[in-house]
Amino acid sequence: MVFFRGVSALSKLRSRLVQQPSLTSTVRWLQIETSSDLDLHSQLKELIPERQERLKKLKSEHGKVQLGNITVDMVLGGMRGMTGLLWETSLLDPDEGIRFRGLSIPECQKVLPAAKPDGEPLPEGLLWLLLTGKVPTKGQVDALSKELRSRAAVPDHVYKAIDALPVSAHPMTQFTTGVMALQVQSEFQKAYEKGISKSKYWEPTYEDSLSLIAQLPVVAAYVYRRIYKNGQVIPKDDSLDYGANFSNMLGFDSPEMHELMRLYITIHSDHEGGNVSAHTGHLVASALSDPYLSFAAALNGLAGPLHGLANQEVLLWIKSVVDECGENITTEQLKDYVWKTLNSGKVVPGFGHGVLRKTDPRYMCQREFALKHLPKDPLFQLVSKLYEVVPPILTELGKVKNPWPNVDAHSGVLLNYYGLTEARYFTVLFGVSRSIGICSQLIWDRALGLPLERPKSVTMEWLENHCKKSA
């Protein structure tokens, strides 16, 4: 109804142009500002038909082009290295790192709007970039931020669902429960039950996705305050942007912590489609499960220690170093502790990556943040020493393809410095961030009509027989 009222109002203005030609420029400005420029939904409505045709052409003209050979190692190694997913929002290069719609993290830091001059990118700006492929203006980001705030109210039944769990339940368990409780409001489910056309699937998916992204910080903050702050909830502040509001609801009102949260959410938002959480979200959504169901599944993947839970493990391990050796640990002592960890059959958390073959750019931008804001922090100095000590040891070990630090090696130390010391909660922050990438791609999954994901599986006997025939 709002849209039609807007059209009606513009029509009346157009009819007055004959008598008042001076209004032409005003109407042109009104049309841009109200129907396209500041409205993300309108931008997508313009982009989607072109992308649909592009996909159709790609499939019809190049559908039989081979992308590579699948080996037995790939099948047995968790499909590692197989090219098998379309993921529009980001691309991960082993040597270069992540690019969001073609832009590296340093480039995003330069061109995406910030809350203050030379500040960190606003997550709302990255959401706009991932969805449209275009760098937004500050006006577009402010409009999107306002829209997200308008969608952020969380129904009471969500809090009741979380409260039904023991306070001792892991923060990710409580967070995922909250997301599942939000599912009852799904616009996609309602539209599907009414018989919506497949060509319009993306629109209720868009509504669900933006509402989910908007509500996640509120749910996540509630979980944090319930577990660690005696249930003393801090309401959202409609004067703050997405990252600052989340930080504030957690109980951290430092401007530097607000900047860290903006950076954290931005760099953790997406990492192409093959990681566990992103792939899980895409897989579940391919069955036409709504964004809430799909993202809840993604969160359960993120909660595994080989994925998102690693950021918890890093800080706990670093604190174990300090507990045993003190903050002023020497390089030689640190080498001994690293070897002790490895010789006990454990890994050094925060080092290595399934795809990257260099230092994670997300690690580097956090390091730059630390050098700017907390260069003398003892834990940061320890992280810096680990950067020098661990890669040569892992290289000497000869079993690690990538001995360099990843994103998890740094984030916990930054959060700890500003007072967010509860390591068990860190993966919830990761989950809030990852919603931006997963939901952006999910909207495009629906817009492009991507099919049910159904790879072929084989038995060990089949592989053995196939290899005998090949020999």
Q: Decide: residue 1, CB within 10 A, 0-12 exposed, 13-18 middle, 19+ buried.
A: exposed
pLDDT of amino acid 130: 98
Contact 410, 385 (CB under 8 A): no
pLDDT at position 23 over 70? no
Report residue 20's pLDDT band, with 50, 70 and 90 as the boundaries: very low
99 membership: H or E segment, kind and range: strand 97-100
Ordered alpha helix ranges (H), 330-455: 331-343, 361-373, 378-397, 408-417, 426-448
Do the beta carbons of residue 313 and residue 453 sit within 8 Å? Answer: no
Average pLDDT over residues 306-311: 80
Cα 274 from chain centroid? 13
Cα 191 to Cα 188, 201, 212, distances in angstroms: 5, 8, 17
Distance separating alpha carbons of residues 350 and 206, to the nearest angstrom = 34
Condensed to tens digits (0 to 9), the pLDDT of residues 365-381 reads 999 999 999 999 999 99
- Model confidence at 21, pLDDT cuts 50, 70, 90, reads very low
> Given CA atoms 140, 142, 147, 152 in this order, what sign does their dihedral have?
positive
353 among known catalytic residues:
yes
**Which residues, including other chains, have CB under 8 Å from residue 189's CB and lie 6 or more apart?**
183, 290
- The pair of three-digit structure tokens given for residue 156, joined into one six-digit string: 């009471």
- Which of 185-189, 279-283, 358-362 is predicted with the least confidence, judged by mean pLDDT? 358-362
Instruction: Count CB neighbours of 268 within 10 A.
Output: 23
Tokens of 249: 């609801």
- Burial (CB count <10 Å: 0-12, 13-18, 19+), residue 57: exposed
Residues 294-306, mean pLDDT to the nearest whole number: 94
Helix axis angle, 378-397 to 361-373, nearest 10°: 150
- Give the pLDDT confidence score for residue 400 in this predicted structure: 73
Write down the catalytic residue from 268, 271, 279, 353. 353
Strand partners, 99: 91, 104
pTM beyond 0.75: the answer is yes
Overall average pLDDT of the 439-463 stretch: 95
Residue 18: pLDDT above 50? no
372-376-380-386 Cα dihedral, nearest 10 degrees:
110
CA–CA separation, 6 and 289 (whole Å): 33
pLDDT at 406: 85
Beta bridge partners of 91: 99
In 3-state terms, what secondary structure has residue 85?
coil
Could you give the strand order of the β-sheet that contains 90-93, starting from the edge strand earlier in sequence? 90-93, 97-100, 103-104
Q: Look at residue 2 in the predicted model and tell me its pLDDT.
A: 42
Listed as own residue / partner, the contacts of 381-388 with beta carbons closer than 8 Å and 24 or more positions apart are 382/318, 382/321, 382/322, 382/327, 382/329, 382/334, 382/413, 383/318, 383/409, 383/410, 383/413, 385/329, 385/331, 385/334, 386/318, 386/334, 386/338, 386/348, 386/350, 388/331
Q: Which pLDDT tens digit goes with each residue over 398-420?
A: 767 778 888 888 999 999 999 99
User: Mind listing the pLDDT tens digit for each residue in 34-68?
Assistant: 446 889 999 999 999 999 999 999 999 999 998 88
Of the chain, the percentage scoring pLDDT greater than 90 comes to: 70
Tell me, what's the pLDDT at 8?
44
Q: What is d(CA 106, CA 108) in angstroms, rounded to the nearest whole number?
A: 5
**Pairing outcome for strands 97-100 and 103-104:** antiparallel
The 10s digit of each residue's pLDDT in 323-365 is 888 888 888 999 999 999 999 988 888 887 777 778 889 999 9
pLDDT value of residue 96:
83
Rounded CA-CA distance 322/315 in Å is 11
**More confidently predicted of 310 and 295:** 295
Q: Is 74 exposed, middle or buried (0-12, 13-18, 19+ CB in 10 A)?
A: middle
Confidence of residue 99 (pLDDT cuts 50, 70, 90): very high
**pLDDT number for residue 447:** 97
Distances (CA, A) of 54 to 47, 59, 283, 445: 11, 9, 23, 14
Catalytic residue flag (residue 408): yes
Q: Which of 307, 360, 410, 445 is catalytic?
A: 307
CA atoms within 13 A on the CB side of 38: 14
Q: Assign 3-state DSSP to the chain and report helix, strand, coil percentages, each to 5.
A: 65, 5, 35
Number of neighbouring beta carbons within 10 Å of residue 460: 9
Q: Measure the CA–CA gap between 84 and 74, rounded to whole angstroms.
A: 12
Give the integer Cα–Cα distance in Å for 337 and 331.
Answer: 10
- For the segment 120-145, what is each residue's pLDDT rounded down to a tens digit? 999 999 999 999 999 999 999 999 99
Domains, the chain, ordered by start: 86-309+425-470 (1.10.580.10), 310-418 (1.10.230.10)
279 is catalytic: no
Report, in angstroms and rounded to the nearest whole number, the Rg of the chain calculated over CA atoms: 24
Please, which pLDDT band fits residue 308 given cuts at 50, 70 and 90? Answer: confident
**pLDDT in the model for residue 36:** 66
133 neighbors 146 (Cβ within 8 angstroms): no
